[in-house]
Copies of this chain bind each other. A is one copy, B any other.
Amino acid sequence: MQNILSNIIISVNDKLYVKNPETSELGKKIIEQSILLIDEIGFENFTFKKLGEKINSNESSIYRYFESKHKLMLYLSSWYWGWIEYKLAFATTNVSNPMERLKKGITIVTEKVEDDSTTLHINEAILNKIIIQEFTKTLLTKEVDEENKIGFFLVYKRVINRIIEMINEVNPDYAFAKSLASSIVEGALHQHFLKDHLKTITNCNETVSPTDFYINLIENTLR
């Protein structure tokens, strides 16, 4: 996987940036270090000024890449789901048994990401951590309809649609494929969060993973 993917570029909706950060060293540094800084201090406390200090650059230079920290977060999210989509396609092609294919798919969208070296400047494990902590907040805004219309959540919805298809292939009579798929993708982020912070209301821990929970769930649901 590492080698095969090592040269892919995940393309992101170009309305999310002013200047494509993949086209310069500074741009890549912004992406790399923003992931680390958001993980460190949280999105609410994250500012372009602080990021500028961290990368020895200037606030105003960062604004030449991203209009706002919200757009930067949407960029990182879009990149993340694009990367998941890629892994999803890769892991499920040539798996002919529908249930097995779905299980592989569920695994991709629910497992904890251990850093792979797909890209030099993006630490996927930490990106996964900030997605767990911050992604749902990018949806829960007053601007969601507007932003959805522009297409900022397309990649995310595409990932969910792939899971929906896989569910339908296992059991075309199941009436709630869409809700089940969106529940799993968002719910897995939530279960990861609970296992780190509100341990009493989840079964997930070091030995039981969200993936175990969701695999069991689809086995029961789609029989």
Asked if residues B183 and A187 are in contact (CB atoms below 8 Å), the reply is yes
Asked if residues B140 and A213 are in contact (CB atoms below 8 Å), the reply is no
Asked if residues A181 and B197 are in contact (CB atoms below 8 Å), the reply is no
Once bound together, how far apart are the Cα atoms of A216 and B171, in whole Å?
15
Once bound together, how far apart are the Cα atoms of A175 and B214, in whole Å?
12
Interface residues of A: mostly helix, strand, loop or mixed? helix
Number of A positions contacting B (CB below 8 A):
50
Chain B residues, CB < 8 A from A179: 191, 194, 202-204, 210, 213
* Contact pick for A140, options B142, B193, B201, CB 8 Å: B193
Residues of A bordering B, CB below 8 Å:
41-42, 44-45, 133-134, 136-137, 139-142, 144-145, 148, 153, 157, 160-161, 164, 175-183, 186-187, 190-191, 193-194, 197-198, 200-204, 210, 212-213, 216-217, 220-221, 223
